[in-house]
Every structure is written in structure tokens, then in C-alpha cells.
Structure 1
């Protein structure tokens, strides 16, 4: 008699979506949401996307060397592409890492937003990379979630009663309708224009 191991709720929710390969690679870290949203067949993720893993020491799980933080993303069952992805990068140069990690999950029709700490606070760009278009926006003290609400004309008060999955659906649905165009820029131009990388630990209490 053989016994089968029951599939976890997370694995079941992510199965046959563009998030499943990222989960299998151990890249979906520190989630506040990782599983089904309120929309049929949709999975959502809010957390941290590991871009570069640190070398393993024995069985010790170490934090990634590089990550995309404050990620908000959705995926649809039966679709190998990510329709929506947003996240925070300390430096614009790591757009390349995001594009390479997401790789085959990217789509020319996808809505992808990267908020970068070292681009001009008055500028917004569109960067084509790896067959996808990234909307690159500045960020200083705000969060990706709050920046998206402002960009997509969503009222925080209207979403207050929703849980994390419901808020993710609301942001994603608005992002999928996003039509605005920003100044086109190549990745190489962005490297020339970006400012110095801020030390994320400065001004933190010891």
C-alpha cells in the first residue's frame, strides 16, 4: 500500500502558475502573502524575491546576497507568465538581476514596476529588457505599496477593510489597466544616470 504526501496549501495555490518555478528555486522569501487571492485561479505573493543566493555553509540557511524587496506580484493558473510584478531595489543596476531571475516568466504584455532608490526623484522611465518593459520609478521614504496606490489612483481608505489578498488583487487589477508611458531609456543609459547607492543601514539605531 502506497501513501501519498498531501500537497501543501501554498504548493496547491502556486501550482501551474508563474510563481511555482520561483518557489521551487527557494526565491520567495519572508512572505506576508504566498498563496491564493480572492480571484479564481489567481495566486499572489508579497515578500522578498531572492536574486543572488549566499554560499551555503553546511545546513545553515543564509539570507540572500541580493534581493528585490517589498515585492507585490500575481500569477494565474494555466499561465506561465507573470502579468504583474512590482518591487523595491536599492540600486537601478539590479534591474538586470530581476529580469534574469524572472526570465521566462516575463511577458511583453506584463505590467512590471521597479522602484529604485538611486534614480532622480523627479524622473520616471521605461526600460526594455529581456523582452519585457519595466516601469522604473523613484522611491525615497515611501513603500512600494503606497507608491503604487498613488500611481494607480487608488484610495487607501477604500482598501482598508480588505485583507492582504484582497489588497493585492485591488492593486494588481489597477496595475493591469495601467497605460501611461514614461521616458524610454536603455539599461546602459540608466547605469550612466543613476546616482550613488545609499547605505541601507545608515541612520539606523544601533
Structure 2
């Protein structure tokens, strides 16, 4: 198991995973990751996480996160996410964030690591990342969970996923109200 997944397992940071296994010699993960734990209300019960990276798709090797995409409720959640997992980010990684309270997109560098952040209003990370990778949902349905992650990663490596270059401070200035439309019964 990769050091990344060992860290996640030892610290109980996985949240509702739908896939956690090998992807072409690497390790793949889909689910959510805890950024800030919920309050412990009894010895055996915790509240849901205060901050989480939702809809995570991640690939890690033995010691680094090679690729991650996820939804953040606020761009303010980026710093805690970075701090929680910074040991595993690398300058060679591909890191794509979908943020519900951004009023613009941008590629920024934080502590030497490059991230690209996109506004997320009513779609899912999976739909958005497939579009960014220029993949069709129908083609992906035929693949196993591991093959889906592998195919997505391969396509993203071949595509230019960067947005206009911005500083971290300029990205913070794009924080607005959450624009995500809640779906479901009215």
C-alpha cells in the first residue's frame, strides 16, 4: 500500500469510499477525504467531518499524490486541505479543484505546488472532469472502476488543463457566494 493510503488509513481520513485499490501499478481512490474531523460526541461516535474534500478521484504512487480532483465547498477549505496532505503533494502532480464559491477559474502555485481551481455550480466533479479530459460517459460505463480512474488520468495528462495564471491571493479575491444549486425535492 502507498504511504499516502497508509496515512489516510492510520488517521481515519477516508470518508465513504466507493473505490480503494490498485490502478495499473498505482493506487486509486474514489470517495471523500476528511480535512477537518467532526466533533467526538461519545467514545464511539463522531459528527460528520467539518471540512471534507468531496467527490475525490485520486491516484498515488508509493510516496506521493500523483493526481487528485475533488470538490471543496469553499476556497477557504483549500489551505486546510493542503496542510493535511502537503507531505504528499509534489511539483510533478496534477491537482484539479472544483470549488462551489469561486466566481472565476485559475491556475495558482501554493508553496511551490501548482493547482488549478474551477467554479462548480450544479454539475458533479465526475461530469466536469470527464468533460475536461474530453471523455464520453458512455465509453466510461464499459470500464471497471480501476480502469475508469486509469483512463481519466491518462487523458488528463495529454490535455492542457491549466487556466489563466493567478496568485493564491488573486484566487482568494474570487471567493463569492456558493453558486451550487441543490438538487432534490423542493
Q: Which residue of 1 aligns with 2:106?
A: 125
Whether contact under 8 Å (2:121, 2:179) holds in the other structure is no
Shift of 1:61: 3.0
Whether contact under 8 Å (2:122, 2:180) holds in the other structure is no
Shift of 1:75: 1.2
Whether contact under 8 Å (1:84, 1:176) holds in the other structure is no
Shift of 1:55: 2.4
- Unaligned runs of 5+ residues in structure 2 are none
Q: Which residue of 2 aligns with 1:75?
A: 60
Shift of 1:101: 1.3
Q: For this pair of structures, how many residues does the alignment match?
A: 185
User: TM-score by structure 2 length?
Assistant: 0.90
State the alpha-carbon separation in 1 of the partners of residues 161 and 50 from structure 2: 34
Richer in strand (by share) = 2
Q: Structure 1 residues 160 and 85 mapped into 2: Cα distance closer, same or farther (>3 Å)?
A: same
Q: Does 1:60 align with 2:45?
A: yes
- Pair member with larger Rg: 1
State the alpha-carbon separation in 1 of the partners of residues 52 and 137 from structure 2: 27
Whether contact under 8 Å (2:102, 2:178) holds in the other structure is no
- Unaligned runs of 5+ residues in structure 1 are 1-14
State the alpha-carbon separation in 2 of the partners of residues 28 and 46 from structure 1: 9
Q: Structure 1 residues 118 and 110 mapped into 2: Cα distance closer, same or farther (>3 Å)?
A: same
Shift of 1:204: 5.2
- What per-residue deviation string (whole Å, max 9, x for no partner) do you get for residues 64-104 of structure 1? 1110100000112xx31111000001111211122111111
State the alpha-carbon separation in 1 of the partners of residues 78 and 156 from structure 2: 19
Q: Structure 1 residues 163 and 131 mapped into 2: Cα distance closer, same or farther (>3 Å)?
A: same
User: TM-score by structure 1 length?
Assistant: 0.82
Q: Does 1:174 align with 2:160?
A: no
Cα RMSD (Å) of the superposition? 2.0
Q: How does 1:16-165 map to 2 (within 5 A)?
A: 16-37=2-23, 39=24, 41-57=25-41, 58-76=43-61, 79-120=62-103, 123-165=104-146
- What per-residue deviation string (whole Å, max 9, x for no partner) do you get for residues 2-53 of structure 1? xxxxxxxxxxxxx23422212221111100001223x1x2111100110001
